[in-house]
């Protein structure tokens, strides 16, 4: 599959949660609590619900959000302007998926994000990994895979904040970006899903966004 084809196919919400499913009910619950404006409440596991189901629903939501946020700045994130996938001068990310690309490779930010979004999408579309029907169990490695997905999605936020924030401001998207990222941070903090060292590129921002809510 060509890079251009993948690029055109990606950067829009891809995973639709079907009505009538348990995950759709959880998604509606998440939307309702988000609407209350209390992000800490919005990420807590609803009483009596399965943790894996809750994590799965939220990963789909964050995947769609990040797709849309990155989609707003793709014209500024090019092979030329972002020849490497970085988050400021100290952090550079190399891509490997453990299957077709086993040894991490240096690549441009748009190519990295494309690899990443395609890789996540393939997992979301796999019913054995992200089951949408009641009764289909989650695999034993679901939590560890979820941590890898969220760690990599975080890198897109980190790249946007470090390399493209002035474009985000120009597009008047900063409030949307900040709310999305704050929601993401509360979620990964609630369930301890990303190691602190991985958050280092945005630790100051995380502290600033979350301190006043403690």
Among residues 198, 203, 202, 199, which one has the least CA distance to residue 163?
202
Consult the annotation and say whether 107 binds a ligand.
no
Residue keyed to tokens 């590129």: 201
Structure tokens at 52: 């894996």
Consult the annotation and say whether 159 binds a ligand.
yes
Spatial distance between the Cα atoms of 171 and 168, rounded to a whole number of angstroms: 5
What are all long-range contacts of 77-81, with beta carbons under 8 Å and residues at least 24 apart? Answer: 77/109, 77/110, 77/113, 77/159, 77/163, 77/164, 78/108, 78/110, 79/108, 79/110, 79/111
Spatial distance between the Cα atoms of 39 and 4, rounded to a whole number of angstroms: 37
Structure tokens at 146: 């979820």
Q: What share of the chain is helix, strand, coil (3-state, %, to 5)?
A: 60, 0, 40
Consult the annotation and say whether 82 binds a ligand.
yes
**Residues contributing to the annotated binding site for Zn(2+):** 77, 82, 159, 164
**Residues contributing to the annotated binding site:** 77, 82, 159, 164
């Amino acid at each position: 599959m060509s890079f251009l084809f993948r690029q055109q196919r990606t950067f829009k919400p891809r995973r639709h949660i079907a009505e009538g499913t348990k995950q759709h009910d959880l998604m509606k619950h998440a939307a309702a609590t988000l609407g209350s404006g209390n992000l800490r409440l919005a990420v807590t596991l609803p009483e009596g619900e399965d943790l894996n189901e809750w994590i799965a629903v939220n990963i789909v939501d964050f995947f769609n959000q990040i797709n849309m946020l990155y989609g707003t700045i793709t014209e500024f994130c090019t092979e030329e302007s972002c020849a490497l996938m970085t988050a400021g001068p100290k952090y550079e990310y190399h891509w490997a998926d453990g299957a077709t690309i086993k040894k991490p490779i240096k690549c441009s930010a748009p190519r990295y994000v494309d690899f990443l979004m395609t890789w996540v999408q393939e997992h979301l579309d796999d019913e054995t990994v992200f089951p949408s029907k009641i009764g289909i169990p989650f695999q034993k490695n679901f939590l560890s895979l979820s941590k890898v997905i969220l760690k990599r999605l975080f890198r897109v936020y980190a790249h946007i904040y470090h390399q493209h924030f002035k474009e985000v401001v120009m597009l008047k998207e900063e409030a949307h970006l900040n709310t999305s990222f704050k929601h993401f941070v509360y979620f990964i903090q609630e369930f301890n899903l990303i190691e602190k060292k991985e958050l280092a590129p945005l630790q100051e921002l995380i502290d600033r966004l979350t301190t006043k809510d403690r």
